[in-house]
């Protein structure tokens, strides 16, 4: 292959999604790298490494190099990106691909530099950075280039980004470090406190998906979970209910609601009027949390809709932005 293809990367705390021009989203893998502590060798990347979380001997460690939407471990992020990009075989014989990467709205210039360097070292010719809510809005099909207000709430793994956009740019925004990972931890802590039972991250995530809700009385389900009894140290099985999960997640979800209210309060009145008409779009993995759109609609007093493909909104948005970059460079 002599030509390189432009790629868009949604570098998430929980997952990395890669869009390749002309092919669409062709990679969606967990942001996890498994390494041997003794030799510093990479054992697995992505889904294979995720399966090892909490299930490996002491010398093997599963690392999530991104925390709260930013790079926590630069070297491991670079290893992970290089592995994924190599797997796609997008580099040309003579040239490298252009890469567009998304980052949360409040990343510092130091963090931006780290993201850019990791992408350059993993094989990018030119690296562009874009703010996540803007790319997510484009990916959901919003026309953000008109003089009308559009509001997006992007709930990812590490951060929730709330933004109002108009004329192709962000008018007001807020980014908070409350998202999918915090929800999992809330469930884990609740089970520990309430039942004196220790469970892992993966079990907590399964509970959230299977029976979790954030809308009081919105779901009436139960689930058997297994863990280690904190008193006897032996395995034990308990049953948890949807109502309990709503209670466990309430505090964190209220922070997201408060953030959305803050952004609306700072929005110019003309754009607020547009949002009442057009509603708010929810994207990111957290948009699939049961009852979230109902709760936000009740609290914000505006219509709330879940994007058609919330998990892939940002990745699709990078694709659309790459297309416009190509047109400009012609």
Q: Would you list which residues are annotated within the binding site?
A: 13-15, 157-159, 205-208
| Helical residues (DSSP H) of 178-268, grouped into ranges | 180-195, 201-210, 242-265
d(CA 36, CA 41) in angstroms, rounded, equals 5
- Which segments within the chain are labelled E, that is strand? 7-11, 15-20, 24-30, 33-36, 42-45, 60-63, 66-67, 70-71, 99-103, 127-131, 150-155, 160-166, 169-176, 197-198, 222-229, 235-241, 280-283, 304-306
Residue pLDDT, tens place only, 22-50: 888 899 999 999 999 889 899 999 999 99
Homologous superfamily of domain range 148-178+250-309: ATPase, nucleotide binding domain (3.30.420.40)
Domain 180-248 matching CATH 3.40.50.300: the answer reads no
pLDDT-derived band at 108, boundaries 50, 70, 90: confident
Cα angle 128, 129, 134; round to 5:
125
Mean pLDDT score, 147-165: 94
Residue 110 zone, left/alpha/beta (φ > 0; ψ -120 to 50; rest)? alpha
Fold match, 7-134+313-329 / 148-178+250-309: yes
State residue 94's pLDDT score. 60
d(CA 115, CA 111) in angstroms, rounded, equals 6
Q: What CATH topology corresponds to 7-134+313-329?
A: Nucleotidyltransferase; domain 5 (3.30.420)
Q: At 205, is the secondary structure helix, strand, or coil?
A: helix
Of the candidates 315, 326, 328, the one whose C-alpha atom is nearest the C-alpha of residue 138 is 315
- Asked whether 137 and 145 are in contact (CB, 8 A), the reply is no
Q: Is 247 exposed, middle or buried (0-12, 13-18, 19+ CB in 10 A)?
A: middle
Q: At 60, is the secondary structure helix, strand, or coil?
A: strand
Residue pLDDT, tens place only, 157-185: 999 999 999 999 999 999 999 999 999 99
The DSSP-derived string for 129-163 is EEEHHHHHHHHTT--TTSSS-EEEEEE-SS-EEEE
d(CA 28, CA 23) in angstroms, rounded, equals 14
Lowest-pLDDT range of 32-36, 53-57, 142-146, 203-207: 53-57
Of the candidates 140, 172, 166, 171, the one whose C-alpha atom is nearest the C-alpha of residue 154 is 140
Q: Examine the pLDDT at 328 and tell me if it is beyond 70.
A: no
Mean pLDDT score, 197-205: 94
The residue ranges of every structural domain in the chain are: 7-134+313-329, 148-178+250-309, 180-248
d(CA 25, CA 46) in angstroms, rounded, equals 16
State residue 43's pLDDT score. 93
d(CA 222, CA 180) in angstroms, rounded, equals 21
Residue 71: both structure tokens together: 């790079």
State residue 5's pLDDT score. 77
Answer yes or no: pTM beyond 0.85.
yes
Q: Would you list which residues are annotated within the binding site for ATP?
A: 13-15, 157-159, 205-208
Residue pLDDT, tens place only, 12-24: 889 999 998 888 8
Q: What percentage of residues in the chain have a pLDDT greater than 70?
A: 96
Residue 103: both structure tokens together: 């980052």
């Amino acid at each position: 292959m002599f030509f390189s293809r432009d790629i868009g990367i949604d570098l998430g705390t929980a997952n990395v999604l890669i869009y390749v021009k002309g092919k669409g989203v062709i990679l969606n893998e967990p942001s996890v790298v498994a390494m041997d502590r003794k030799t510093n060798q990479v054992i697995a990347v992505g889904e294979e490494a995720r399966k090892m979380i909490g299930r490996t001997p002491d010398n093997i460690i599963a690392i999530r190099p991104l925390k709260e939407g930013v790079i926590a471990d630069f070297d491991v992020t670079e290893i992970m990106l290089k592995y994924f990009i190599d797997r796609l075989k997008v580099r040309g014989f003579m040239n490298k691909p252009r890469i567009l990467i998304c980052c949360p709205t409040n990343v510092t210039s130091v963090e931006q530099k780290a993201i850019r360097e990791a992408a350059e070292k993993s094989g990018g010719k030119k690296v562009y950075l874009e703010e996540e809510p803007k790319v997510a809005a484009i990916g959901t099909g919003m026309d953000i280039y008109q003089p009308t207000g559009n509001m997006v709430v992007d709930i990812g793994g590490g951060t929730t980004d709330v933004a109002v956009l108009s004329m192709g740019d962000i008018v007001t925004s807020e980014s908070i470090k409350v998202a999918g990972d915090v929800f999992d931890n809330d469930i884990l802590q609740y089970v520990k406190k309430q039942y004196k039972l220790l469970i892992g991250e993966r079990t907590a995530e399964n509970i959230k998906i299977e029976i979790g809700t954030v809308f009081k009385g919105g779901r009436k389900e139960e689930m058997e979970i297994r863990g280690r009894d904190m008193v006897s140290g032996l395995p034990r099985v308990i049953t948890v209910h949807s109502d309990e999960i709503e209670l466990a997640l309430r505090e964190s979800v209220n922070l997201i609601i408060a953030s959305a209210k803050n952004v609306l309060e700072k929005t110019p009145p003309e754009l607020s009027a547009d949002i009442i008409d057009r509603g708010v779009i929810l994207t990111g993995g957290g948009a699939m949390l049961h009852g979230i759109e109902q709760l936000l609609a009740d609290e914000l007093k505006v219509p709330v809709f879940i994007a058609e493909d919330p998990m892939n909104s940002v990745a699709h948005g990078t694709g659309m932005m790459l297309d416009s970059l190509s047109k400009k460079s012609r």
